[in-house]
Structure 1
Amino acid sequence: MPPKEAKPQPTAAQISEVKTRLFKRMETEPPAVPFCAKDLARINDNDIWITKLLEAYKLDVEKCIVRLWDNLAWRQSYGVNEITEASLNQEYLHDGEIYVHNQDMDSCPLLIVNFSKHSKSKSQDDLLRIVVYWVERMQREKYLQKVTLFMDMTGAGLSNLDVDFIKAIINVFETKYPNAPNWIIVHELPFLLNAAFKIVKGFMPPEALEILRVTTKKDIGEYVDQDNCLKIWGGNDDYSFKFVSN
Protein backbone atom coordinates (compact mmCIF):
# COMPACT_ATOMS: atom_id res chain seq x y z
CA MET A 1 0.00 0.00 0.00
CA PRO A 2 1.51 3.36 -1.00
CA PRO A 3 2.33 5.60 1.96
CA LYS A 4 0.24 8.68 2.58
CA GLU A 5 1.71 12.11 2.99
CA ALA A 6 1.94 12.93 6.70
CA LYS A 7 -0.49 15.64 7.75
CA PRO A 8 0.85 18.60 9.75
CA GLN A 9 -0.19 18.47 13.39
CA PRO A 10 -2.08 21.40 14.94
CA THR A 11 -0.58 23.19 17.91
CA ALA A 12 -2.27 23.63 21.28
CA ALA A 13 -2.62 27.33 20.48
CA GLN A 14 -4.48 26.63 17.23
CA ILE A 15 -6.83 24.19 18.94
CA SER A 16 -7.49 26.68 21.73
CA GLU A 17 -8.16 29.48 19.23
CA VAL A 18 -10.79 27.42 17.39
CA LYS A 19 -12.52 26.47 20.62
CA THR A 20 -12.40 29.97 22.13
CA ARG A 21 -13.64 31.74 19.01
CA LEU A 22 -16.39 29.19 18.43
CA PHE A 23 -17.86 29.69 21.90
CA LYS A 24 -17.41 33.46 21.68
CA ARG A 25 -19.41 33.49 18.44
CA MET A 26 -22.12 31.45 20.15
CA GLU A 27 -22.39 34.21 22.76
CA THR A 28 -22.41 37.14 20.33
CA GLU A 29 -24.56 35.59 17.59
CA PRO A 30 -26.27 32.51 19.03
CA PRO A 31 -27.76 30.07 16.49
CA ALA A 32 -31.52 30.30 15.95
CA VAL A 33 -31.82 26.74 17.21
CA PRO A 34 -29.29 25.79 19.91
CA PHE A 35 -26.65 23.28 18.91
CA CYS A 36 -26.92 19.76 20.29
CA ALA A 37 -25.67 19.50 23.86
CA LYS A 38 -23.89 16.21 23.07
CA ASP A 39 -21.85 17.86 20.33
CA LEU A 40 -20.91 20.83 22.50
CA ALA A 41 -19.90 18.46 25.28
CA ARG A 42 -17.65 16.63 22.85
CA ILE A 43 -15.88 19.91 22.08
CA ASN A 44 -15.64 20.84 25.76
CA ASP A 45 -14.49 17.48 27.06
CA ASN A 46 -11.48 16.97 24.80
CA ASP A 47 -9.66 18.35 21.77
CA ILE A 48 -9.87 15.34 19.45
CA TRP A 49 -12.67 16.62 17.19
CA ILE A 50 -11.05 20.02 16.65
CA THR A 51 -7.63 18.40 16.20
CA LYS A 52 -8.92 16.11 13.46
CA LEU A 53 -10.76 18.95 11.72
CA LEU A 54 -7.65 21.14 11.75
CA GLU A 55 -5.71 18.24 10.22
CA ALA A 56 -8.38 17.80 7.54
CA TYR A 57 -8.31 21.53 6.75
CA LYS A 58 -4.51 21.70 6.72
CA LEU A 59 -4.32 23.87 9.86
CA ASP A 60 -6.54 26.59 8.37
CA VAL A 61 -8.03 27.98 11.60
CA GLU A 62 -10.54 30.27 9.87
CA LYS A 63 -11.87 27.48 7.66
CA CYS A 64 -12.03 25.11 10.61
CA ILE A 65 -14.16 27.55 12.64
CA VAL A 66 -16.58 28.16 9.75
CA ARG A 67 -16.92 24.45 8.91
CA LEU A 68 -17.28 23.42 12.55
CA TRP A 69 -20.09 25.95 13.02
CA ASP A 70 -21.81 24.68 9.86
CA ASN A 71 -21.29 21.10 11.00
CA LEU A 72 -22.86 21.78 14.39
CA ALA A 73 -25.85 23.43 12.69
CA TRP A 74 -26.25 20.48 10.32
CA ARG A 75 -25.99 17.91 13.08
CA GLN A 76 -28.71 19.71 15.03
CA SER A 77 -31.09 20.13 12.08
CA TYR A 78 -30.46 16.61 10.73
CA GLY A 79 -30.93 15.09 14.18
CA VAL A 80 -27.68 13.15 13.90
CA ASN A 81 -27.53 12.18 17.55
CA GLU A 82 -31.12 10.94 17.45
CA ILE A 83 -30.68 8.60 14.47
CA THR A 84 -31.31 5.00 15.53
CA GLU A 85 -31.84 1.84 13.54
CA ALA A 86 -35.57 2.09 14.30
CA SER A 87 -35.74 5.54 12.66
CA LEU A 88 -34.25 4.33 9.37
CA ASN A 89 -35.87 2.89 6.26
CA GLN A 90 -36.01 -0.76 7.32
CA GLU A 91 -36.04 -2.16 3.80
CA TYR A 92 -32.85 -0.31 2.91
CA LEU A 93 -31.21 -1.09 6.25
CA HIS A 94 -31.66 -4.83 5.73
CA ASP A 95 -31.19 -5.20 1.95
CA GLY A 96 -27.38 -5.13 2.08
CA GLU A 97 -26.71 -2.11 -0.10
CA ILE A 98 -24.98 -0.16 2.69
CA TYR A 99 -23.26 -1.80 5.64
CA VAL A 100 -20.02 -2.02 7.61
CA HIS A 101 -17.95 -5.21 7.62
CA ASN A 102 -14.26 -6.04 8.17
CA GLN A 103 -11.41 -3.53 7.89
CA ASP A 104 -8.65 -2.27 5.65
CA MET A 105 -4.90 -2.67 6.12
CA ASP A 106 -4.89 0.30 8.50
CA SER A 107 -7.53 -1.35 10.73
CA CYS A 108 -10.20 1.13 9.60
CA PRO A 109 -13.72 -0.29 9.14
CA LEU A 110 -15.03 -0.77 5.61
CA LEU A 111 -18.21 1.16 4.89
CA ILE A 112 -19.42 -0.89 1.93
CA VAL A 113 -21.84 0.40 -0.69
CA ASN A 114 -22.89 -2.54 -2.87
CA PHE A 115 -23.92 -0.89 -6.12
CA SER A 116 -25.29 -4.09 -7.61
CA LYS A 117 -28.18 -3.57 -5.18
CA HIS A 118 -28.67 0.11 -5.97
CA SER A 119 -31.53 1.60 -7.93
CA LYS A 120 -32.26 5.23 -8.77
CA SER A 121 -35.83 4.59 -7.65
CA LYS A 122 -34.65 4.39 -4.04
CA SER A 123 -34.95 7.46 -1.83
CA GLN A 124 -31.55 9.17 -1.79
CA ASP A 125 -32.37 10.89 1.51
CA ASP A 126 -33.17 7.56 3.18
CA LEU A 127 -29.96 6.02 1.86
CA LEU A 128 -27.84 8.93 3.06
CA ARG A 129 -29.34 8.64 6.55
CA ILE A 130 -28.11 5.05 6.58
CA VAL A 131 -24.63 6.23 5.56
CA VAL A 132 -24.68 8.74 8.43
CA TYR A 133 -25.98 6.07 10.82
CA TRP A 134 -23.07 3.75 10.03
CA VAL A 135 -20.40 6.48 10.23
CA GLU A 136 -21.76 7.64 13.59
CA ARG A 137 -22.01 4.06 14.84
CA MET A 138 -18.40 3.31 13.93
CA GLN A 139 -17.14 6.57 15.41
CA ARG A 140 -18.93 5.86 18.67
CA GLU A 141 -17.54 2.34 18.93
CA LYS A 142 -14.00 3.65 18.46
CA TYR A 143 -13.92 7.38 19.13
CA LEU A 144 -13.84 9.38 15.88
CA GLN A 145 -11.94 6.68 14.03
CA LYS A 146 -11.46 6.81 10.28
CA VAL A 147 -13.45 4.62 7.91
CA THR A 148 -12.77 3.47 4.36
CA LEU A 149 -15.56 4.08 1.88
CA PHE A 150 -15.67 0.91 -0.22
CA MET A 151 -17.78 1.34 -3.35
CA ASP A 152 -18.27 -2.22 -4.53
CA MET A 153 -19.07 -2.23 -8.24
CA THR A 154 -18.92 -6.04 -8.56
CA GLY A 155 -21.76 -7.09 -10.84
CA ALA A 156 -23.07 -3.54 -11.23
CA GLY A 157 -24.39 -2.29 -14.55
CA LEU A 158 -25.52 0.97 -16.08
CA SER A 159 -28.89 0.67 -14.34
CA ASN A 160 -27.12 0.61 -10.95
CA LEU A 161 -24.81 3.55 -11.50
CA ASP A 162 -26.25 6.69 -9.92
CA VAL A 163 -23.91 9.66 -10.32
CA ASP A 164 -26.09 11.88 -8.14
CA PHE A 165 -26.02 9.34 -5.31
CA ILE A 166 -22.23 8.94 -5.48
CA LYS A 167 -21.87 12.73 -5.53
CA ALA A 168 -24.12 12.98 -2.45
CA ILE A 169 -22.06 10.39 -0.54
CA ILE A 170 -18.81 12.18 -1.38
CA ASN A 171 -20.38 15.48 -0.33
CA VAL A 172 -21.40 14.03 3.05
CA PHE A 173 -17.80 13.04 3.72
CA GLU A 174 -16.33 16.26 2.34
CA THR A 175 -18.56 18.64 4.31
CA LYS A 176 -19.78 16.65 7.34
CA TYR A 177 -17.00 14.15 8.03
CA PRO A 178 -13.85 15.61 6.39
CA ASN A 179 -11.64 13.86 8.93
CA ALA A 180 -13.28 10.45 8.50
CA PRO A 181 -12.18 8.89 5.17
CA ASN A 182 -9.07 6.73 5.23
CA TRP A 183 -9.40 5.54 1.63
CA ILE A 184 -12.12 5.79 -1.00
CA ILE A 185 -11.98 2.51 -2.88
CA VAL A 186 -13.89 1.80 -6.08
CA HIS A 187 -13.68 -1.94 -6.62
CA GLU A 188 -14.17 -3.84 -9.89
CA LEU A 189 -15.43 -0.91 -11.92
CA PRO A 190 -16.96 -2.42 -15.09
CA PHE A 191 -15.53 -1.17 -18.38
CA LEU A 192 -18.96 0.10 -19.40
CA LEU A 193 -18.97 2.45 -16.40
CA ASN A 194 -15.55 4.00 -16.98
CA ALA A 195 -16.90 7.02 -18.85
CA ALA A 196 -19.54 7.68 -16.20
CA PHE A 197 -16.95 7.39 -13.44
CA LYS A 198 -14.84 10.09 -15.10
CA ILE A 199 -17.79 12.40 -14.45
CA VAL A 200 -17.73 11.36 -10.80
CA LYS A 201 -14.01 12.13 -10.52
CA GLY A 202 -14.63 15.54 -12.04
CA PHE A 203 -16.64 16.75 -9.05
CA MET A 204 -14.51 15.14 -6.35
CA PRO A 205 -12.44 17.58 -4.26
CA PRO A 206 -8.62 17.29 -4.37
CA GLU A 207 -8.55 15.76 -0.87
CA ALA A 208 -10.82 12.94 -2.03
CA LEU A 209 -8.85 12.33 -5.22
CA GLU A 210 -5.68 11.93 -3.13
CA ILE A 211 -7.17 8.91 -1.33
CA LEU A 212 -9.20 7.51 -4.24
CA ARG A 213 -8.13 4.09 -5.47
CA VAL A 214 -9.71 1.97 -8.22
CA THR A 215 -9.00 -1.69 -7.53
CA THR A 216 -9.52 -5.14 -9.02
CA LYS A 217 -9.08 -8.64 -7.62
CA LYS A 218 -5.41 -8.40 -8.62
CA ASP A 219 -4.51 -5.43 -6.43
CA ILE A 220 -7.21 -5.17 -3.74
CA GLY A 221 -4.73 -6.89 -1.40
CA GLU A 222 -2.74 -3.65 -1.22
CA TYR A 223 -5.59 -2.12 0.79
CA VAL A 224 -7.59 -5.03 2.23
CA ASP A 225 -5.96 -8.33 3.17
CA GLN A 226 -7.33 -11.69 2.02
CA ASP A 227 -9.08 -12.53 5.28
CA ASN A 228 -10.92 -9.20 5.21
CA CYS A 229 -11.86 -9.49 1.53
CA LEU A 230 -15.15 -11.08 0.59
CA LYS A 231 -14.93 -14.08 -1.72
CA ILE A 232 -16.60 -12.10 -4.50
CA TRP A 233 -13.65 -9.67 -4.26
CA GLY A 234 -11.19 -12.56 -4.52
CA GLY A 235 -10.65 -13.02 -0.79
CA ASN A 236 -11.33 -15.65 1.88
CA ASP A 237 -14.40 -14.23 3.64
CA ASP A 238 -17.66 -15.98 2.72
CA TYR A 239 -19.73 -13.48 4.74
CA SER A 240 -23.35 -12.98 3.76
CA PHE A 241 -24.88 -9.68 4.94
CA LYS A 242 -27.29 -9.68 7.83
CA PHE A 243 -27.96 -6.54 9.83
CA VAL A 244 -26.89 -6.79 13.47
CA SER A 245 -28.01 -4.25 16.07
CA ASN A 246 -25.37 -2.56 18.18
Structure 2
Amino acid sequence: MPKGVQPTAEQVNEVKTRFLQNLAAEPPAVPFHPSDLARIKDSDVWITQLLEAYKLDVEKAIIRLRQNCEWRQSFGTNDINETNVNQEYLNDGEIFVHNQDKDGMPLLIVNMSKHNKNKNQEDLIRVMVYWVERIQHETNYSKKITLFMDMTDAGLGNLDLDYIKAIIGLFETKYPNAPNYIVVHDLPFLLNAAFKIVKGFMPPEALEILKVTTKKDINEYVDKDNCLKVWGGNDDYVYKFQAK
Protein backbone atom coordinates (compact mmCIF):
# COMPACT_ATOMS: atom_id res chain seq x y z
CA MET A 1 0.00 0.00 0.00
CA PRO A 2 1.46 3.39 -0.90
CA LYS A 3 1.62 5.88 1.92
CA GLY A 4 -0.47 9.00 1.86
CA VAL A 5 0.98 12.45 1.36
CA GLN A 6 3.84 12.94 3.80
CA PRO A 7 3.50 15.85 6.23
CA THR A 8 6.25 18.45 6.44
CA ALA A 9 8.41 18.94 9.52
CA GLU A 10 6.62 22.27 10.02
CA GLN A 11 3.21 20.58 10.11
CA VAL A 12 4.43 17.96 12.59
CA ASN A 13 5.96 20.65 14.80
CA GLU A 14 2.78 22.73 14.67
CA VAL A 15 0.69 19.79 15.91
CA LYS A 16 3.21 18.98 18.63
CA THR A 17 3.62 22.58 19.82
CA ARG A 18 -0.08 23.40 19.85
CA PHE A 19 -0.99 20.10 21.52
CA LEU A 20 1.48 20.76 24.34
CA GLN A 21 0.35 24.40 24.67
CA ASN A 22 -3.29 23.28 24.90
CA LEU A 23 -2.32 20.63 27.44
CA ALA A 24 -0.61 23.25 29.63
CA ALA A 25 -3.55 25.66 29.31
CA GLU A 26 -6.25 23.02 29.84
CA PRO A 27 -4.80 20.02 31.67
CA PRO A 28 -7.01 16.91 31.76
CA ALA A 29 -8.73 15.92 35.01
CA VAL A 30 -6.63 12.76 35.05
CA PRO A 31 -3.08 13.23 33.71
CA PHE A 32 -2.20 11.46 30.48
CA HIS A 33 0.07 8.44 30.67
CA PRO A 34 3.78 9.38 30.77
CA SER A 35 4.52 6.90 27.96
CA ASP A 36 2.08 8.65 25.64
CA LEU A 37 3.46 12.09 26.47
CA ALA A 38 6.99 10.79 25.88
CA ARG A 39 5.95 9.43 22.48
CA ILE A 40 4.62 12.85 21.52
CA LYS A 41 7.57 14.85 22.87
CA ASP A 42 10.43 12.56 21.84
CA SER A 43 9.25 11.20 18.49
CA ASP A 44 7.39 12.41 15.41
CA VAL A 45 5.97 9.02 14.40
CA TRP A 46 2.55 9.22 16.08
CA ILE A 47 1.85 12.77 14.88
CA THR A 48 3.12 11.95 11.37
CA GLN A 49 0.77 8.96 11.19
CA LEU A 50 -2.21 11.03 12.36
CA LEU A 51 -1.47 13.73 9.78
CA GLU A 52 -1.25 11.03 7.08
CA ALA A 53 -4.53 9.50 8.23
CA TYR A 54 -6.30 12.86 8.20
CA LYS A 55 -4.80 14.07 4.93
CA LEU A 56 -2.59 16.73 6.54
CA ASP A 57 -5.48 18.35 8.46
CA VAL A 58 -3.55 19.93 11.34
CA GLU A 59 -6.66 20.90 13.34
CA LYS A 60 -8.11 17.39 13.14
CA ALA A 61 -4.77 15.82 14.10
CA ILE A 62 -4.52 18.01 17.23
CA ILE A 63 -8.08 17.17 18.30
CA ARG A 64 -7.61 13.45 17.63
CA LEU A 65 -4.28 13.33 19.45
CA ARG A 66 -5.88 14.70 22.60
CA GLN A 67 -8.89 12.39 22.25
CA ASN A 68 -6.57 9.42 21.79
CA CYS A 69 -4.57 10.32 24.90
CA GLU A 70 -7.83 10.61 26.87
CA TRP A 71 -9.04 7.24 25.59
CA ARG A 72 -5.70 5.53 26.25
CA GLN A 73 -5.69 6.88 29.81
CA SER A 74 -9.27 5.80 30.57
CA PHE A 75 -8.95 2.43 28.79
CA GLY A 76 -5.63 1.67 30.49
CA THR A 77 -4.07 0.96 27.11
CA ASN A 78 -0.46 1.27 28.22
CA ASP A 79 -1.02 -1.20 31.06
CA ILE A 80 -2.77 -3.94 29.06
CA ASN A 81 -0.82 -7.19 28.99
CA GLU A 82 -1.44 -10.92 28.74
CA THR A 83 -2.23 -11.19 32.48
CA ASN A 84 -5.05 -8.64 32.65
CA VAL A 85 -7.19 -9.44 29.61
CA ASN A 86 -9.86 -12.13 29.42
CA GLN A 87 -7.86 -15.37 29.43
CA GLU A 88 -10.53 -17.41 27.66
CA TYR A 89 -10.65 -14.94 24.77
CA LEU A 90 -6.86 -14.68 24.63
CA ASN A 91 -6.58 -18.45 24.22
CA ASP A 92 -9.63 -19.46 22.17
CA GLY A 93 -8.26 -18.36 18.79
CA GLU A 94 -10.91 -15.81 17.82
CA ILE A 95 -8.34 -12.98 17.76
CA PHE A 96 -4.65 -13.53 17.15
CA VAL A 97 -1.64 -12.37 15.16
CA HIS A 98 0.14 -14.68 12.75
CA ASN A 99 2.16 -14.31 9.53
CA GLN A 100 2.10 -11.28 7.24
CA ASP A 101 0.61 -9.90 4.05
CA LYS A 102 2.52 -9.40 0.78
CA ASP A 103 3.71 -5.99 2.00
CA GLY A 104 5.29 -7.58 5.08
CA MET A 105 2.62 -6.23 7.44
CA PRO A 106 1.43 -8.47 10.31
CA LEU A 107 -1.96 -10.16 9.99
CA LEU A 108 -4.37 -9.47 12.86
CA ILE A 109 -6.79 -12.34 12.34
CA VAL A 110 -10.39 -12.37 13.58
CA ASN A 111 -11.84 -15.86 13.19
CA MET A 112 -15.54 -15.08 13.05
CA SER A 113 -16.55 -18.75 13.18
CA LYS A 114 -15.46 -18.69 16.85
CA HIS A 115 -17.58 -15.64 17.70
CA ASN A 116 -20.99 -15.49 19.31
CA LYS A 117 -23.06 -12.66 20.76
CA ASN A 118 -22.79 -14.05 24.29
CA LYS A 119 -19.16 -13.01 24.46
CA ASN A 120 -18.39 -9.76 26.27
CA GLN A 121 -17.69 -7.16 23.60
CA GLU A 122 -15.51 -4.91 25.76
CA ASP A 123 -13.35 -7.89 26.76
CA LEU A 124 -12.93 -8.84 23.09
CA ILE A 125 -11.91 -5.29 22.17
CA ARG A 126 -9.38 -5.32 25.03
CA VAL A 127 -7.85 -8.48 23.55
CA MET A 128 -7.72 -6.77 20.16
CA VAL A 129 -6.07 -3.69 21.67
CA TYR A 130 -3.57 -6.00 23.41
CA TRP A 131 -2.54 -7.44 20.02
CA VAL A 132 -2.40 -4.07 18.26
CA GLU A 133 -0.25 -2.59 21.02
CA ARG A 134 1.97 -5.67 21.04
CA ILE A 135 2.56 -5.39 17.28
CA GLN A 136 3.27 -1.68 17.53
CA HIS A 137 5.77 -2.11 20.35
CA GLU A 138 7.51 -5.05 18.66
CA THR A 139 7.86 -3.12 15.39
CA ASN A 140 8.63 0.22 17.06
CA TYR A 141 5.45 1.68 15.52
CA SER A 142 6.96 1.25 12.06
CA LYS A 143 4.49 -1.24 10.54
CA LYS A 144 0.86 -1.12 9.58
CA ILE A 145 -1.46 -4.04 10.29
CA THR A 146 -3.73 -6.00 7.97
CA LEU A 147 -7.03 -6.73 9.69
CA PHE A 148 -7.97 -10.17 8.37
CA MET A 149 -11.64 -10.99 8.97
CA ASP A 150 -11.72 -14.75 8.42
CA MET A 151 -15.31 -15.66 7.56
CA THR A 152 -14.53 -19.33 6.79
CA ASP A 153 -17.35 -21.52 8.14
CA ALA A 154 -19.05 -18.51 9.79
CA GLY A 155 -22.83 -18.59 9.87
CA LEU A 156 -25.74 -16.45 11.00
CA GLY A 157 -25.10 -17.52 14.60
CA ASN A 158 -21.66 -15.88 14.45
CA LEU A 159 -22.96 -12.63 13.03
CA ASP A 160 -22.68 -9.67 15.40
CA LEU A 161 -23.00 -6.29 13.70
CA ASP A 162 -22.39 -4.35 16.93
CA TYR A 163 -19.09 -6.17 17.40
CA ILE A 164 -18.00 -5.53 13.81
CA LYS A 165 -18.96 -1.86 14.25
CA ALA A 166 -16.82 -1.71 17.39
CA ILE A 167 -13.81 -3.16 15.54
CA ILE A 168 -14.21 -0.69 12.68
CA GLY A 169 -14.65 2.16 15.17
CA LEU A 170 -11.50 1.14 17.01
CA PHE A 171 -9.40 1.46 13.86
CA GLU A 172 -11.24 4.51 12.57
CA THR A 173 -10.72 6.63 15.68
CA LYS A 174 -8.06 5.04 17.92
CA TYR A 175 -5.65 3.61 15.33
CA PRO A 176 -6.61 5.52 12.16
CA ASN A 177 -3.35 4.98 10.30
CA ALA A 178 -2.77 1.39 11.43
CA PRO A 179 -4.60 -0.67 8.78
CA ASN A 180 -2.74 -1.65 5.62
CA TYR A 181 -5.69 -3.65 4.28
CA ILE A 182 -8.98 -4.83 5.70
CA VAL A 183 -9.45 -8.30 4.22
CA VAL A 184 -12.81 -10.06 4.44
CA HIS A 185 -12.08 -13.64 3.44
CA ASP A 186 -14.41 -16.40 2.29
CA LEU A 187 -17.67 -14.58 3.01
CA PRO A 188 -20.52 -17.12 2.96
CA PHE A 189 -23.40 -16.32 0.61
CA LEU A 190 -25.78 -16.29 3.60
CA LEU A 191 -23.94 -13.27 5.03
CA ASN A 192 -23.87 -11.16 1.85
CA ALA A 193 -26.82 -9.00 2.93
CA ALA A 194 -25.24 -8.36 6.33
CA PHE A 195 -21.96 -7.44 4.67
CA LYS A 196 -23.73 -4.73 2.66
CA ILE A 197 -24.91 -3.25 5.98
CA VAL A 198 -21.35 -3.38 7.32
CA LYS A 199 -20.03 -1.53 4.26
CA GLY A 200 -22.66 1.13 4.89
CA PHE A 201 -21.12 2.17 8.20
CA MET A 202 -17.48 1.95 7.10
CA PRO A 203 -15.72 5.29 6.53
CA PRO A 204 -14.46 6.08 3.00
CA GLU A 205 -10.83 5.50 4.06
CA ALA A 206 -11.68 1.96 5.18
CA LEU A 207 -13.60 1.19 1.98
CA GLU A 208 -10.52 2.20 -0.02
CA ILE A 209 -8.45 -0.58 1.60
CA LEU A 210 -11.26 -3.16 1.92
CA LYS A 211 -10.57 -6.37 -0.01
CA VAL A 212 -13.07 -9.23 -0.26
CA THR A 213 -11.23 -12.45 -1.09
CA THR A 214 -11.80 -16.13 -1.79
CA LYS A 215 -9.36 -19.04 -2.05
CA LYS A 216 -8.95 -18.12 -5.75
CA ASP A 217 -7.60 -14.61 -5.21
CA ILE A 218 -6.32 -14.45 -1.62
CA ASN A 219 -2.73 -14.71 -2.89
CA GLU A 220 -3.00 -11.21 -4.35
CA TYR A 221 -2.68 -10.01 -0.74
CA VAL A 222 -1.26 -12.94 1.25
CA ASP A 223 1.12 -15.41 -0.39
CA LYS A 224 0.65 -19.17 -0.10
CA ASP A 225 3.27 -19.68 2.61
CA ASN A 226 1.58 -17.04 4.79
CA CYS A 227 -1.93 -18.43 4.17
CA LEU A 228 -3.38 -20.98 6.53
CA LYS A 229 -4.40 -24.29 4.96
CA VAL A 230 -8.06 -23.47 5.58
CA TRP A 231 -7.60 -20.42 3.31
CA GLY A 232 -6.05 -22.60 0.60
CA GLY A 233 -2.44 -21.97 1.63
CA ASN A 234 0.52 -23.98 2.86
CA ASP A 235 0.59 -23.09 6.57
CA ASP A 236 -0.83 -25.74 8.90
CA TYR A 237 -0.45 -23.50 11.98
CA VAL A 238 -2.87 -24.03 14.86
CA TYR A 239 -3.16 -21.08 17.22
CA LYS A 240 -1.72 -21.40 20.70
CA PHE A 241 -1.09 -18.25 22.69
CA GLN A 242 2.57 -17.40 23.26
CA ALA A 243 3.51 -14.66 25.70
CA LYS A 244 6.03 -12.03 24.61
TM interval, short-chain normalised? over 0.9
Give the distance between the partners of 1:41 and 1:7, measured in 2 at CA: 25
Q: Note the C-alpha offset of 1:227.
A: 0.1
Give the distance between the partners of 1:74 and 1:149, measured in 2 at CA: 21
Partner in structure 2 of residue 200 of structure 1: 198
Partner in structure 2 of residue 20 of structure 1: 17
**5 Å matches for 1:1-246?**
4=1, 6-144=3-141, 145-246=143-244
TM-score, normalised by the number of residues in structure 2: 0.98
Could you list the runs of 4 or more consecutive aligned residues of structure 1 that deviate by over 4 angstroms after TM superposition? none
Q: Note the C-alpha offset of 1:143.
A: 1.4
Give the distance between the partners of 1:244 and 1:208, measured in 2 at CA: 30
Give the distance between the partners of 1:85 and 1:240, measured in 2 at CA: 19
Q: How many residues align?
A: 243
Give the distance between the partners of 1:188 and 1:107, measured in 2 at CA: 22
Give the distance between the partners of 1:65 and 1:98, measured in 2 at CA: 31
Q: Note the C-alpha offset of 1:5.
A: 5.5
Give the distance between the partners of 2:197 and 2:30, measured in 1 at CA: 37
- Percent identical among aligned pairs is 70
Q: Note the C-alpha offset of 1:148.
A: 0.4
TM-score, normalised by the number of residues in structure 1: 0.98
Q: Structure 2: which 5+ residue stretches go unaligned?
A: none
Deviations 1:68-95 (A, max 9, x none): 0000000001000000111011111100
Give the distance between the partners of 1:139 and 1:109, measured in 2 at CA: 10
Q: CA RMSD in A?
A: 0.7
Q: Note the C-alpha offset of 1:7.
A: 1.2
Give the distance between the partners of 1:5 and 1:228, measured in 2 at CA: 21
Deviations 1:91-120 (A, max 9, x none): 111000000000000100000000010000
